[in-house]
Chain A
Amino acid sequence: MIVTVLYYLITAAVAALLVANIVKSRKWQDEVLYVIVLIPFLLRLLRLK
């Protein structure tokens, strides 16, 4: 249970870093790629998958 919670925290931290980098990014291709990469992180955090 503790390990599961820690993994959710790691996922949330990486998702937050991805979002922060989307905001700062100036290249549209990078922004699109960040959004694609973010998909599994958000789905996991929302417990949809």
Chain B
Amino acid sequence: MSAEASAAVVLAVMAAAYAAAKLFKLSTELALFAAALAGALAGGAGIPARHIAEGAFTYFDIILIFVTATLFMNFLKESGGVAFVVRAVIGRFHRRKAILFILFAFLLLVPGALTGAGSVTVLVAGGMVATVLGYMGLPRPRVAAIIFLIAGLSAAAPPVSLWAMLTAAGVNMPYVGFFLPLLVPCVLLALVTIFWLGRKAGPVDLALALRELPEPPAGMNGMRIALPFLLFLGLVAAGRIWPFDFPILGLPLIFVAAAGLTLVLSPVRLPVLAVARRTVEQLLPLIGTLTCAGILVQVMTLTGVRGLIAITVVTLPVIAVYLTLFVTLPVSEAVLMWGAAPVLGVPLVLLFNTINLNPVVALAGMSVIWPLGDAVPPTAIIGRLTADTVGMKEPYGRFLLECLGPALLIAAAGTLMVVFSKKLAFLAVF
């Protein structure tokens, strides 16, 4: 049997094992792991303990970033910081819809941008923003669509964009130059989304909204919220300004420092252990997917499947790739979740690189499209989480319908970024 045929058989076995695991109601993470084990067995590697350990380490540093960043965000929420900001924003700008929308868009962008997870945006700020949008007369499915789409964009936004990080790691490309190519489309598309879907919103019913929002503890103020963020930004900036004099701390340690300062500045005593345990529990699907996707990719490399996928994608007609990005990326995300980036993203970036596109801007464009798949079954983890958080009682299809217009715009913007990546290369400066 030729090497290609052998890899194709292993790929078929992996796909069958994944489908069977889903059929037996296994979670997506365990289905990925089952596919990896089946692939190793079919490839004649038995149960490759060394490769499982090696693969589990692939995204270890990213997992540490997720855990520490989410801990920081959860401490901020528990200390009443998020409630304080939301109440302050609507108290001051409840008559000015445009300013309110801009501030809400940024409020929703920050948690996901810092942690790389849209679920954190939904859990930390989504519920409170949804309450206010509800009191502006927007129907629940539309509110859920706003929260979900901006949460997706926040996950793609810098500094932590998982899809870009995973794909860049897979092609041995440093995660450098992504800040503006990710920031500009994410901010613009978030603003377009909230203004588009919120165009029929009326003024906030301030009394009702304030009654429903959680009350921040006495003593909470803007300084207590700002200082941890200033520490975070200061430590990140110090490493760049004085690269030879300042120790390389790394994002996880910087997030821990910011979380520590949040704890110290909190006006109420926080249940540290309970919040930390809840954080790990909340992140299990995410860090589980990362670990299992790492193992899957390692086994794919071991058995030649990764090479087969890479060669197949690289030899596809480029026009066909451009025209199908808006389908293939969300669908791959719906099936593999973040595992889609190393499996499909890596060969696509290699393809774009070989045809002389700018790989950084092209990857940023793809990263904007990927999160749309988080509302698509079978996984639809963040879509369903958003529907639950918002308290949507309507059928899930109505939420998908509300998402459709802005989602098509996001997909079109991402695809255009890929196509014109060379002309947009000026964005990839830092």
The reply to whether the CB of B173 lies closer than 8 angstroms to some CB of chain A is no
Question: Given that A3-B250, A36-B288, A37-B284 are known contacts, is A11 also in contact with B52, CB under 8 Å in the complex?
Answer: no
Inside 8 A of A2's CB, which chain B residues have their CB?
247
Inside 8 A of A12's CB, which chain B residues have their CB?
none
Contact B284–A34 (Cβ < 8 Å): yes
Inside 8 A of A36's CB, which chain B residues have their CB?
29, 33, 56, 288, 291-292, 295
The reply to whether the CB of B324 lies closer than 8 angstroms to some CB of chain A is no
Determine which of A7, A11, A29, A37 lies in contact with B26 in the assembled complex, contact meaning CB atoms within 8 Å.
A29
Number of B residues whose C-beta is below 8 Å from A? 32
B-facing residues in A1-49 (Cβ within 8 Å):
2-3, 6-7, 10-11, 13-14, 17-18, 20-21, 24, 29-30, 32-34, 36-37, 39-40, 43-44, 49
Q: How does the 8 Å CB contact mask read for B236-252 relative to A, with 1 for contact and 0 for none?
A: 00000000000111101
Question: Given that A32-B30, A33-B27 are known contacts, is A10 also in contact with B252, CB under 8 Å in the complex?
Answer: yes
Give B339 Cβ to nearest chain A Cβ, in Å. 14
Give A11 Cβ to nearest chain B Cβ, in Å. 7
Contact B291–A40 (Cβ < 8 Å): yes
A-facing residues in B22-69 (Cβ within 8 Å):
26-27, 29-30, 33, 52-53, 56-57, 60, 63-64, 67-68
Question: Given that A21-B277, A40-B57, A49-B53 are known contacts, is A10 also in contact with B253, CB under 8 Å in the complex?
Answer: yes
Give B142 Cβ to nearest chain A Cβ, in Å. 33
Inside 8 A of A21's CB, which chain B residues have their CB?
277, 280-281, 284
Question: Given that A36-B292, A37-B288, A39-B52 are known contacts, is A11 also in contact with B253, CB under 8 Å in the complex?
Answer: no
The answer for the CA separation of A24 and B52 in the assembled complex, in Å, is 26
Give B246 Cβ to nearest chain A Cβ, in Å. 11
The reply to whether the CB of B329 lies closer than 8 angstroms to some CB of chain A is no
The answer for the CA separation of A33 and B21 in the assembled complex, in Å, is 14
Contact B249–A40 (Cβ < 8 Å): no
The answer for the CA separation of A37 and B68 in the assembled complex, in Å, is 16
The answer for the CA separation of A39 and B60 in the assembled complex, in Å, is 10
Contact B288–A33 (Cβ < 8 Å): yes
Contact B253–A3 (Cβ < 8 Å): yes
Inside 8 A of B56's CB, which chain A residues have their CB?
36, 39-40, 43
The answer for the CA separation of A2 and B279 in the assembled complex, in Å, is 26
The answer for the CA separation of A12 and B60 in the assembled complex, in Å, is 13
Inside 8 A of B280's CB, which chain A residues have their CB?
14, 17-18, 21
Inside 8 A of B277's CB, which chain A residues have their CB?
17, 20-21, 24
Determine which of A10, A37, A44, A49 lies in contact with B287 in the assembled complex, contact meaning CB atoms within 8 Å.
A37
The reply to whether the CB of B256 lies closer than 8 angstroms to some CB of chain A is yes
Contact B57–A29 (Cβ < 8 Å): no
Inside 8 A of A14's CB, which chain B residues have their CB?
64, 67, 280
A-facing residues in B256-305 (Cβ within 8 Å):
256, 276-277, 279-281, 284, 287-288, 291-292, 295
Contact B60–A3 (Cβ < 8 Å): no
Contact A43–B287 (Cβ < 8 Å): no
Determine which of A13, A24, A33, A44 lies in contact with B30 in the assembled complex, contact meaning CB atoms within 8 Å.
A33
The chain B residue with its CB closest to the CB of A36 is B291
Determine which of B247, B279, B284, B291 lies in contact with A30 in the assembled complex, contact meaning CB atoms within 8 Å.
B284
The answer for the CA separation of A42 and B67 in the assembled complex, in Å, is 16
Contact A39–B30 (Cβ < 8 Å): no
Contact A39–B68 (Cβ < 8 Å): no
Inside 8 A of B27's CB, which chain A residues have their CB?
29, 33
Q: A33-B27, A40-B56 are in contact. List 8 more A-B contacts (CB 8 A).
A: A7-B252, A10-B68, A17-B276, A36-B288, A36-B291, A37-B291, A39-B291, A40-B60
Can you spell out 9 A-B residue pairs with CB atoms less than 8 angstroms apart?
Answer: A2-B247, A6-B253, A6-B256, A20-B277, A21-B277, A29-B26, A29-B30, A39-B52, A40-B53
Task: List the interface of chain A (C-beta within 8 A of B).
Answer: 2-3, 6-7, 10-11, 13-14, 17-18, 20-21, 24, 29-30, 32-34, 36-37, 39-40, 43-44, 49
Task: List the interface of chain B (C-beta within 8 A of A).
Answer: 26-27, 29-30, 33, 52-53, 56-57, 60, 63-64, 67-68, 247-250, 252-253, 256, 276-277, 279-281, 284, 287-288, 291-292, 295
9 nearest A-B pairs in the assembled complex, by CB-CB distance: A33-B288, A17-B280, A39-B56, A40-B56, A40-B57, A40-B60, A37-B291, A29-B27, A37-B287
